[in-house]
Structure 1
Amino acid sequence: MRFHLFIAAVSWFVCVDSRKIRGISSSYKRFYRERKSFLCIDGSKIIPFEQVNDDYCDCEDGSDEPDCCDASDEYNSHARCQNTCWNLGQRERAYVEGQMRTLDEGLQLKQQLIEEGVLLWREKQAQLRELQQVAEDLQIKLEDHRRRKHEADRRKEQTLKALEAGDGGLRLQNNTVSSMFQSLDSNKDGSITVDELQDKVALIHDEERSLSEDEAVALLGGGHQMDVTKFQHTLWDILTNGDSVKIKDTHGALDSVVDEDPHLKAADRAAKWEATNLKKVEEAYDTVNMEISDLRKKLAIDYGTDWEFLFLNSQCYKLKVYEYTYTLCPFNQVTQENTAGTEVSLGKWGMWAGTPKNQYSQMVYENGEPCWQGGSRSATVTLTCGTETALRSVKEPSKCQYIMDFQTPVACQPVLKQRGIHSEL
C-alpha cells in the first residue's frame, strides 16, 4: 500500500511539471506552463493547477488530463472526457512532419548558402589582394609625383629669383608690390584699411581666425590706413617674409607678373600641372586605402564556421509593426522608423551571443541612440530555422530593449532531426 502511495505522489509531481507532461501537442504546450490556476482549453472552467493530471477529469474537454487522452486512467468523474488520442496524434504527426519538411528544405538551402559563402569569401580575399597591389603601385606613383612637383616648384622659384636678380628685377618687384597692394585694396581707393586687412590677411599659425582690429592696426604701422608707398617699405616685407601673416589668396598678385615673362609663365604652368596630377594620385591612393580598410573590417567578422552567414552582409530586412518599420541589417545595425520618417538607431553590430552549443543562434546589437530613461537602446536577434530569410517579429519587453525573431535557412541545425514523435500519439 505504501509503495502505491509513493508511486502516486511521484506521478502527481511529474504531472504538475509542465516540462514533463506527456500527451501534449507542441502547439498546446503554452497552456500547461505551471502557475496557480489552469484554464480549460475550451474556456469552460478555471481550476487549481495541482488538479492537472490528478487522474480526475475536471474540464469538459478533458484538457486538464492530457497524459491519457482516451480518459482510461480517470475515475469517479462527472465529466465525460473525450477520446482525443487519434485527433491529437494526427495533428501532432502533421505538425512534426511539417517541421521535418521545413528542416530538410532549410538544410538543403543552408548547404547551398555555405557553398556560396565559401566562394564569396575567396572572392573577397582575392579582391583584398588586388586592392593591396593597386595601393602599392599608387604608392610608387605618389612618391614619383611628389618628386616631380617638388622639382617643378624649385624651377619656378629659380626662375623668379633669376628675374629678380636681372635687369627686370626692380620692375618685377614693383609690379608684384603693386599687384599685391591692389589685391588688398578691395574698394580701389588707393589705400588699405583695417577692414580690408581683416578680410584679406590671415595668421600663419591660425588661418581660420580673422585678424582682430588691434592686430590689423599693428600691421598698418599703428594707423587705420596705408598707401602703396608705405606698404612697399613696411607691410610688403612682412607679407613676403611669411613668418607671421600671409595673404589668403596670392594667385592674383603674381598673375600679372607671370603673364609678362614667358619663362616664368612656363615654369608656373608646369608647377600647376604637377600639383594637379599629384592631387589626383593622392585622391586615388586615399580611396583605395579606404576600400582596403572597409574590406578588412568585413573580413574580420565571424560569419560562421563555414562562412554560411556571409551572404547576410550588405543585406537589410524590414518588418512593419503598427506605426513603426524596423530594419535589420546584419553585421551593421538595427533601426526603427516611424510614420513621420524619423529614424532611430536601436543598436550597432556587437557580437554573437548564442548558447555554448550554438553560439550562432543569437546576435546582439549595442550602443543605439540614448533612451529617455537613461542608457542606450539595444536589440537581441534570435535566429530560427526557416526556408526563407526574413525578419519575423519585433517586441519591446522592456523600455528601449528590443528582441527580434530572424528566420533563415542558415540557422537550421541537423541535430533537430533527432527529435521524434511520441509513441503514444
Structure 2
Amino acid sequence: MMFPSYVNLLVFSCLLTLIAGGNIEQTALRGVQTSLLSMYVPSKPFTCLDRSMTIPYEFVNDDYCDCRDGSDEPGTSACPNGRFFCENKGYVGTLIPSHFVGDGICDCCDGSDEYETNVVCNNTCFELAQRNQAEREAKRALHEAGVAKKKEIIAHSIAIKSERQKRLKELENEIQVAEKLKRQAEAPEKEAKDKYQKLWEEQRAKHEAIVRNREIREMFADLDTNGDSLVSIDELQKHTELDLDSENEFTNEEVRTILGADSVNLNDFNTTVFDQISNSYKKLPEPPRPTPEPTPLPEPSQGSFATPSPPLETSDDEQNKPSHRHEEDHENSQHSSSIPTSLEHEKHIHDDTPPEYDDETKRLIQIADHARNEFNAIEGKILNIKQQIEDLKKQSGVDTGPQGEYSAFIDQCYDYEEREYTYRVCMFKDAKQIPKGGGSEVTIGYWDSWSGPTENKYLRMKYANGATCWNGPPRSLTVTFRCGIEHKAVDVREPSRCEYAMIFETPSACDETVAGTTSHSTHVEF
C-alpha cells in the first residue's frame, strides 16, 4: 500500500532536481498556452499575469492558488477562476475551466486534463480533426457555390442599371426630336390662329363699342326729359335707385357728385357718368295716359260733304334723308361687310364662340395636331420610363451592399411557415405576423437599418417600430443572414417578448474568403 506513495515521492524529488538544474519538462507546465510559455521561466520568479504579485517559481502548479487571476495554477484545479489549456495535438487547442482538471471526466480530446487520475481517456483528436475538416470543406463548398450565385446577382444588377440608363438616353433623344418637330409644326399654326384671334377680337371690340354708344344715347335721351341736350341734377335726382345711401334722401350734393357738375352734355355723360350708373340705372315707369273721350263730329249741313284733309307735306330732303335707325343699320351692314366671309363674323360677333378658320389655317392645324399626337405618344413612353427611373433612383437610395449583392431583395417578400403563424418579411419595407387561424395580421417592424457587426454590418438587418404589444414595447425583428444557395427564411423565434429573430439564408451572405480557403487541416489555438 505504501509503494505508490514512495513512487510519487521519488518522482517529485526528481522534478525538484530538474527545476534546480534549470531544465524543466513540458509536463511541469501543464495547462499553459503555447503563446504564454515565455512567461513561465523556471530560473526566475513568476509574476502573475495580472501583475498583482510576484512569487517564487516553485509556487507554480503547486496546487495552491497564489495569484488572483489563477495564472500560477494553469495545470491544477486549485484556482476557481483558472484556465487549463488542452493542447489537443492534431486538432484545435482549447481552454477549459481549471476545476475540470482531474474531475474524472475527459474534457480535452487528448485526455490531458486527467493526467493526475486513473481515468483512461481515449484520444479523439484525430476523429474530431477529420470531422472538423469535413465540416470546413462542406462550408467552403457551400460558400463557393453561393459566391458564384452572388456574382450572378451583382452582374445582373449592374446589367439592369446599365440597360436602363442606355434606354433612358435613347428616349430622351427621341423626345428632343419630337419636341423640335412639334415646335416647328406649331409655329405657323400659332401665327394663323393669332391672326384670326386678333381680327375676331378687333371686330368684337367694335361691336361692343357700337352697342355701348347706343346704350349711352338711349340712357341720355331717357334722362334728358326736357330735351335741352343736357342731363341736370333735377333730371338725375328722379332716379333714386342710384342713391347708394338708400335710407336717406337722394340729395343735390349726392347727385352732383355723380355728375361732376350741375349738368352734363352727351360727351361728358359718356366719359364720367355712364359707367357709374349703368349697372343700377332703371327707366322710370311712364305715367298712365288718360284715354281721351271721343269728340262728336259736327253735323254736316245739308248739301255739304266732308273734304279729306291734305297729307302732311315732306320736303324732298326729308324724304331722301334716311332715318337714324337706317343709318345705324347701314353702318353695321358696311362694317360687317368689311369682315371676310370665312370668319362668319355675324354668327359669332354677339357671343364668345371663335370664328371658323379658313382652309389654309385648318391645314396647318392638322399638321400641328399630327405632330402633337406623335409627341404625346412618345411622351407617354417617356413618362413611363421616367417613372421607372424614379423607382430606380429610390431603389438606388437603398443600401444593398458594397457591390449591390442584396439588390435581388428589392420589392421581394419571403414567408416562413410555423405552426400558428406565417411570418412574412418584405425586404427593405416591413415584416408581418399573419395568423393561420384567421384574424388580423400584425406588423412586427418596418425597415430600419443594417445592424451587423462592425466588420460586416450587412450580416444583419433591423425592422423596428412595429405594432405595440399589449402593455409592452413596439414589436421589432432582427434578420440574420447566413450563406445559402437560395433566398429563404429558415427559422423565426421570439427570444424575448415582442422581439423576433429570423435566420435567412442567401447567396448574398456567402464569403469569398471562406470559399477560397484550402481544404488542408490546420492546427488552431484559441
TM tier, smaller: 0.5 to 0.7
Superimposed CA distance per residue, residues 239-286 of structure 1 (whole angstroms, 9 cap, x where no aligned partner): xxxxxxxxxxxxxxxxxx999x988xxx9xx9xx99x97998887665
SS across alignment from 2:74 = helix
| 2:114 is the counterpart of 1:73 | yes
Match of 2:505?
Answer: 407
Matches within 5 A, 1:7-86: 9-11=73-75, 51=99, 53-57=100-104, 62=105, 65-70=106-111, 73-76=114-117, 81=121, 83-86=123-126
Structure 1: stretches of 5+ with no match in the other structure: 35-48, 168-232, 235-256
Relative distance call for 1:154 and 1:353 in structure 2 (3 A) is: farther
For the 8 Å contact 1:71–1:83, the answer to whether it is kept is no
Tell me whether 370-379 or 319-328 shows the greater mean CA deviation: 370-379
Partner of 1:10, secondary structure, is coil
Deviations 1:167-195 (A, max 9, x none): 9xxxxxxxxxxxxxxxxxxxxxxxxxxxx
CA contact 1:118–1:306 (8 Å) conserved in 2: no
Residue 488 (structure 2) aligned to one of 390, 394, 398: 390
* Identity %, equivalent residues: 25
Cα offset, 1:410, TM superposition: 2.5
Q: Which residue of 2 aligns with 1:119?
A: 159
CA distance in 2, matches of 1:374, 1:354: 26
Aligned: 1:110 with 2:150: yes
Deviation at 1:293, TM superposition (A): 1.5
Preserved contact between residue 327 and residue 334 of structure 1 (Cα < 8 Å): yes
CA contact (8 A) 2:109 2:124 kept: no
Amino acid of the residue matched to residue 400 of structure 1?
A: C
Shifted more, 404-413 versus 375-384: the winner is: 375-384
Matched ranges for 1:19-418 at <5 A: 51=99, 53-57=100-104, 62=105, 65-70=106-111, 73-76=114-117, 81=121, 83-130=123-170, 133=173, 287-339=384-436, 340=438, 342-373=440-471, 376-416=474-514, 417=517
**1:188-210 deviations in whole A, cap 9, x for unaligned?**
xxxxxxxxxxxxxxxxxxxxxxx
**TM value normalised by structure 1:** 0.53
Q: 1:73 to 1:399 in 2, by over 3 A?
A: closer
Partners of 1:9 and 1:124 in 2: how far apart? 69
User: Could you report, residue by residue, the CA deviation over 1:361-394 in whole angstroms, capped at 9, with x for unpaired residues?
Assistant: 2223344445444664433222212233222222
Task: Give the secondary structure class of the aligned counterpart of 2:481.
Answer: strand
Cα 1:367–1:125, aligned 2, differ >3 Å: closer, same or farther?
farther
Q: Which moves more between the two structures, 415-424 or 315-324? A: 415-424
The code of the aligned residue for 2:492 comes to V
Relative to structure 1, the CA distance from residue 22 to residue 112 in structure 2 (aligned partners, 3 Å threshold; closer, same or farther) is farther
CA 1:282–1:125 in 2, change beyond 3 Å: closer, same or farther? closer
Q: Alignment RMSD, CA only?
A: 5.6
Report how far residue 408 of structure 1 moved.
Answer: 1.7
- Code of the residue aligned with 2:423 in structure 1: it is Y
SS in 2 for 1:308: coil
Alpha-carbon contact 1:369-1:377 (below 8 Å) kept: yes
- For residues 173 and 120 of structure 2, the distance between their equivalents in structure 1, rounded to whole angstroms, comes to 81
- TM norm structure 2: 0.44
Do the aligned residues in 1 keep the contact of 2:102 with 2:117 (CA within 8 Å)?
Answer: no
Kindly provide the CA deviation profile for residues 61-118 of structure 1, in whole angstroms up to 9, marking residues without a partner as x: x4xx3224446734335x6655544443443333223222223322333333333333
Q: What amino acid sits opposite 1:408 in the alignment?
A: T
Q: Measure, in 1, the Cα distance between the counterparts of 2:406 and 2:202.
A: 68
**Partners of 1:147 and 1:103 in 2: how far apart?**
65
Q: Structure 1 pair 360/121, CA: closer, same or farther in 2 (3 Å)? A: farther
Supply the distance in 1 between the matched residues of 2:466 and 2:446 (Cα, whole angstroms): 6
Decide whether aligned partners of structure 1 residues 295 and 100 sit closer, same or farther in structure 2, where only a CA change above 3 A counts: closer
Amino acid at match of 2:454: P
Larger mean CA deviation between 385-394 and 361-370 belongs to 361-370
Closer, same or farther in 2 for the Cα pair 1:17/1:124, shift >3 Å? farther
Q: Is the 8 A contact 1:15 1:21 kept in 2?
A: no
* Residue in 1 that maps onto 2:61: 4
Q: Equivalent residue of 2:480, what SS?
A: strand
Secondary structure of 1:121's counterpart equals: helix
- 1:8 deviates by 6.1
Q: Shift in Å at residue 140 of structure 1?
A: 7.1
Contact 1:304 1:360 survives alignment (8 Å): yes
Distance 2:175 2:494 in 1: 47
CA distance 1:89–1:132, shift in 2 (3 Å): same
Gap change, CA 1:362 and 1:284, over 3 Å in 2: same
Q: 1:4 to 1:17 in 2, by over 3 A?
A: closer
Which residue identity lines up with residue 115 of structure 1 in the other structure?
A
1:339-362 CA distance string (max 9 Å, x none) = 227433333433333333223222
Letter matched to residue 67 of structure 1: C
Q: Conserved in 1, the CA contact under 8 Å of 2:494 and 2:500?
A: yes
Match of 2:29 in 1: none
Comparing 95-104 with 151-160, which one deviates more in the overlay?
A: 151-160
Q: Distance in 2 between matches of 1:152 and 1:397?
A: 78
Residues 282 and 386 of structure 1: CA distance in aligned 2, closer, same or farther (over 3 Å): closer
DSSP 3-state at the match of 1:4: coil
